[in-house]
Amino acid sequence: MGLEVNAVYLSYVVHVLAVAGSVMVLVWNIHFRGGLAWESTNKNLIFNVHPVLMLIGLIIMGGEAIVSYKALPFKKAEKKLIHLILHAIALVLGIIGIYMAFKNHNESGIANLYSLHSWLGIGIIVLYGVQWVYGFLVFFYPGGTGDLRKESLPWHVLFGMFVYILAVANSALGFLEKLTFLESSGIAKYGSEAFLVNFTAIVAVLYGTFVLLTALSRAPAEDNHSYSAI
């Protein structure tokens, strides 16, 4: 399946939304929520690292990793390296982001893993890790046989898109959950912070949409087989 649209043009929309989403999540957590901290007596500052790293790390770096394979004007081997490095960064930032949510809970005496968001979150990070390791072993080092690569590729693309869609949807659940907590402890339902959080989630969903559209669109003319002959 392929869209008859040039991937490069769609990838520009992806980059613009990446900048918008990153700025919005930082403004929310630094300006409205008081800042970010690894260690602090104010445990909320430790939590704030979670949405920042999940959005900028897992979702945005992960999305850039996906579009890099399709839209960058480099040779296949170079794009493959960029693809796997960006995904590794996304995965590591995602793991640190989840660790910060646990750290906040543990240091504040809050139970762990009680929500749908957290259960899906664990599933997503495990699947993302499995996908990365399998991709590394089969397509990069030591590398599978030609047949194994050929058979694995459509599954790699399909499974990668599935995990990515789940991650974007789960980040929307996370924004909803946090805003619901904040509204029950007093922030205005139609206030500027509430609008900022909801619009950040909308930008995340739009970002994910354009990442997938780019992945399904036409690669630049000189390299029309990015997804068919790794």
- List interacting residues with ligand HEM (CB under 6 A): 50-51, 54-55, 58, 98, 101-102, 105, 112-113, 115, 117-118, 121-122, 124-125, 167, 170-171, 174-175, 177-178
Minimum CB–partner distance for residue 196 and ligand HEM (Å): 12
Q: Which residue has the tokens 């957590």?
A: 29
Q: Which is nearer to ligand HEM, 170 or 226 (CB)?
A: 170
Q: Which is nearer to ligand HEM, 83 or 117 (CB)?
A: 117
Q: How far apart (Å, rounded) are the C-alpha atoms in residues 48 and 43?
A: 9
Q: Which is nearer to ligand HEM, 50 or 83 (CB)?
A: 50
Minimum CB–partner distance for residue 26 and ligand HEM (Å): 12
146-175: b (≥16 Cβ within 10 Å) or e: eeeeeebbeebbebbeebbebbbebbbbbb
In 3D space, the residue among 16, 25, 22 whose CA is nearest the CA of residue 175 turns out to be 25
Minimum CB–partner distance for residue 54 and ligand HEM (Å): 3
Question: Do 84 and 136 meet the contact criterion of CB atoms below 8 Å apart?
Answer: yes
Task: Enumerate the β-bridge partners of residue 218.
Answer: 6
Cα separation values, 61 from 54, 56, 87, 141, Å: 10, 6, 7, 22
Minimum CB–partner distance for residue 124 and ligand HEM (Å): 5
Minimum CB–partner distance for residue 175 and ligand HEM (Å): 4
Q: Which is nearer to ligand HEM, 51 or 160 (CB)?
A: 51
Q: Which is nearer to ligand HEM, 146 or 186 (CB)?
A: 186
Task: Enumerate the β-bridge partners of residue 6.
Answer: 218
